[in-house]
Structure 1
Amino acid sequence: MVKKTGQPAYLQIADDLRKQVHGGSLAPGSLLPSTAQLAEQYDASLSVVKMAVGILRNEGLLIGQQGKGVFVQDQEPSESEQLPAMDLVSEVMELRTAVQDLSERLARVESTLSERSDR
């Protein structure tokens, strides 16, 4: 049941399902109840339940199989598949710096080519 705590319902549902997965009541490989069943269980809309399940799929705890349902992932993603948020932030910053550097270099090359063609 979703409570009026100020926390969005989809996060409450995701937290509860996550606890069930980590606690073992939703075992690896087990089929998650249908979206309709979860919506009834949590007294929430289908879209709220879908958002909660989507969060857990993005975290790698659940995996969907077309036409079969959503299952608890058999194993935790390996460390190489998980990138902590700070690694992602630093990677984006490095990419931005590299793009800016390449843009500046391209501008210099274009300027040099323009000067040569003017001669």
Structure 2
Amino acid sequence: MASAGRRKVYVRIADELREDIAAGRNAAGEPLPSIAKLGERFGAAGATVERALSVLREEGLIMSRQGTPSIVTDRPEQVEPPEQPQDEAEGPTEEFALLWAQLQEIREHLRRQSARLDEIDERTRNL
């Protein structure tokens, strides 16, 4: 059960940081606070904060290098489809655009479901 508690904390941290980025409180090109400062903010261990940052890195919202602060690279609503090779100058195909839009909808749905599961876990923890 302890691992479920840790998972919930890092997911919540990732969700809150994602909301900060989406709202522009952490703009593209700006560094995030240090892991220590984020740990203080969320009352979490450094490893938990690092796990939350890993989620954001996988989503392409931040980039990190060892010894330097994580940098915001994109806002969630600004995520664009990957660039097509130069020889396809006419742009993405209609099928690609449709699939990309569906992928974005799925990502948002999964984010909402994760939040709902965390709420259920919180409500049923002491039953």
Which bin holds the TM-score, normalised by the shorter protein?
Answer: 0.5 to 0.7
Matches within 5 A, 1:1-119: 8-74=8-74, 76-80=78-82, 84=103
Aligned length: 82
Cα deviation, residue 77, structure 1: 4.8
Q: Which runs of 5+ in 2 are unaligned?
A: 84-98, 105-127
> 2:60, 2:74 within 8 Å by CA — same for their partners in 1?
no
SS at 2:12 equivalent = helix
Alpha-carbon deviations, 1:68-106, whole Å to 9, x = none? 221000575531379639xxxxxxxxxxxxxxxxxxxxx
Change over 3 Å in CA distance of 1:54–1:39 after alignment to 2: same
Change over 3 Å in CA distance of 1:59–1:74 after alignment to 2: closer
Map of 1:110 onto structure 2: none
- Cα distance in structure 2, aligned partners of 1:53 and 1:14: 7
- Cα distance in structure 1, aligned partners of 2:74 and 2:56: 14
- Cα distance in structure 2, aligned partners of 1:69 and 1:61: 14
Cα deviation, residue 10, structure 1: 0.3
CA RMSD of aligned residues (A): 2.9
So what's the TM-score if we normalise by structure 2?
Answer: 0.55
- Cα distance in structure 2, aligned partners of 1:80 and 1:74: 13
- Cα distance in structure 1, aligned partners of 2:8 and 2:52: 10
Higher Cα Rg, which structure: 1
So what's the TM-score if we normalise by structure 1?
Answer: 0.58
SS at 2:29 equivalent = coil
Q: Which runs of 5+ in 1 are unaligned?
A: 86-119
> 2:63, 2:71 within 8 Å by CA — same for their partners in 1?
yes
